[in-house]
Structure 1
Amino acid sequence: MNLTVSDLSVARGGVPVLDGVAFDLPPGRALVLRGPNGAGKTTLLRTIAGLQPAEAGRIEGAEDRIAYAGHADGLKAMLSVTENLAFWASVFGTSDIDAAVAAFDLEELRDRLAGTLSAGQKRRLGLARLMVSGRPVWVLDEPTVSLDAASVALFASAVRAHLGQGGSAVLATHIDLGLAEAEVLDVAAFRATPRAAAADEAFL
């Protein structure tokens, strides 16, 4: 099933950010969002993930199919690496965490408490949650933050494997992950027009 966005308008704090966003993402493909800081990439991703309502437009093919990874890693500090992944697997109704542990090189950290991990290790664990979700659509906001070059390569491999299995991904990143299956969408092309008229109404 494709993830289809049609004439989508999104706002941040009640202020229009993007207007008329449209794309059609089939299984096995990735869409990389580009644009300057503050352009609306995070707002768009949160809207697609269902974390905030759209101002207008339609999102189809998202219901119960999306796994979202934002700026927070979503970890429980007093649980071990294994326990964190097992917790998220239970939330999503899955059970196998071994593939995620291997993909993000977490084997030697399995018994470590998440709260004792370095920033990069926490990020790897947070991204490993995607693999235990069983969800076909990954929505990712700057997923490579805090990752060194080797860990970025692990993440890129995980995304390629996900796409190869018929999954899809929408991600905002400034790093070239070498994804041959990726298209680029510049969100600056959809910048919303300020509501000058609405501001004037305050004085009427």
Structure 2
Amino acid sequence: MPLFEASDLGCVRGDRAIFAGLDFSLETGGLLLLTGPNGAGKSSLLRVLAGLLRPAVGRLAWNGREVWEDLGAHHDQLRYLGHGEAVKPALTVAEDLQFWAALRDLPGAEVERALARFDLSELAERPGRLLSAGQKRRLALARVTLGKVPLWLLDEPTVGLDAASVERLAQAVAEHRVAGGLAAIATHIGFPGERPQVLAIDDFPPVLPDPEDLLW
């Protein structure tokens, strides 16, 4: 049985249909790459997968159970990174990670590991307001790796990263998959990874569903 699957998903924002008839299934260790031009609906789909946006039609299931039956449980098993880094300007890099680690009742070793993974150890005492765009992105990605959850949802995660940081991210995703995790990554430039499933959003042209079929 697929661990994470969508069937006939359709998304409407306002009065605009974004995509329709979208299907995928991911098993343990799977990588889903969401591709398509700007405005195709990659970010909207990630928000649906994260349970932040309800689809207009279709089914989204985790381990055979519709995610909307227990949205809180779904949120607990994922990390989502959108376009914003949500870096607090007054907190240092280490304090930012320590805050999130404390919320999740994680040991200090998790913070040290996340700092090292994205080459942030030397920046640990630097306030967020003094970070470059790439450094903020690395901090946000380090936050994703805190603790162990099965599902990572990343929206254009390589934006602002240099080549070395992209390699670090690719390694983090690879290790996450080997440990049994899944990842869905929106990208328009590709992403390194073994045996990804590629889902081109523009292959699912938008149509307005019949009002009687709407889920909301």
The structure-2 alpha-carbon separation of the partners of 1:94 and 1:5, relative to structure 1 and needing over 3 Å to count, comes to farther
One-letter identity of the residue aligned with 1:120: G
Partners in 1 of 2:12 and 2:104 — Cα distance? Answer: 29
Aligned length: 197
The aligned counterpart of 1:131 is 145
The answer to whether the aligner puts 1:180 opposite 2:172 as a matched pair is no
Secondary structure in 1 matching 2:5: strand
One-letter identity of the residue aligned with 1:57: G
The aligned counterpart of 2:127 is 113
The answer to whether the aligner puts 1:88 opposite 2:88 as a matched pair is no
Instruction: Say if 1:124 and 1:151, in contact at 8 Å, map to a contact too.
Output: yes
One-letter identity of the residue aligned with 1:56: V
Instruction: Say if 1:5 and 1:24, in contact at 8 Å, map to a contact too.
Output: yes
The aligned counterpart of 2:41 is 40
Once the two structures are superposed, residues 96-115 of structure 1 have per-residue CA deviations (whole angstroms, 9 ceiling, x without a partner) of 21221111001100111111
Partners in 1 of 2:6 and 2:105 — Cα distance? Answer: 27
Shift of 1:133: 4.4
Partners in 2 of 1:32 and 1:177 — Cα distance? Answer: 8
TM normalised by structure 2 equals 0.85
The aligned counterpart of 1:8 is 9
The answer to whether the aligner puts 1:156 opposite 2:170 as a matched pair is yes
State which of 92, 114, 118 in structure 2 corresponds to 1:104.
118
One-letter identity of the residue aligned with 1:171: I
Structure 1 moving runs of 4+ over 4 Å: none
Instruction: Say if 2:37 and 2:188, in contact at 8 Å, map to a contact too.
Output: no
Secondary structure in 1 matching 2:198: strand
For structure 2, list consecutive stretches of 5 or more residues without a partner in the other structure.
68-73, 212-216
TM normalised by structure 1 equals 0.90
Identity of aligned residues (%): 44
Shift of 1:90: 2.3
User: Which range is displaced more, 35-44 or 86-95?
Assistant: 86-95
Shift of 1:91: 2.6
Secondary structure in 2 matching 1:132: coil
State which of 70, 73, 79 in structure 1 corresponds to 2:85.
73
State which of 182, 186, 190 in structure 1 corresponds to 2:204.
190
Once the two structures are superposed, residues 145-171 of structure 1 have per-residue CA deviations (whole angstroms, 9 ceiling, x without a partner) of 111111111111111111111111001
Shift of 1:194: 5.2
The structure-2 alpha-carbon separation of the partners of 1:14 and 1:86, relative to structure 1 and needing over 3 Å to count, comes to farther
The aligned counterpart of 1:140 is 154
For structure 1, list consecutive stretches of 5 or more residues without a partner in the other structure.
199-204
The aligned counterpart of 1:202 is none
Shift of 1:13: 2.8
| RMSD over aligned Cα atoms | 1.8
Partners in 2 of 1:164 and 1:108 — Cα distance? Answer: 28
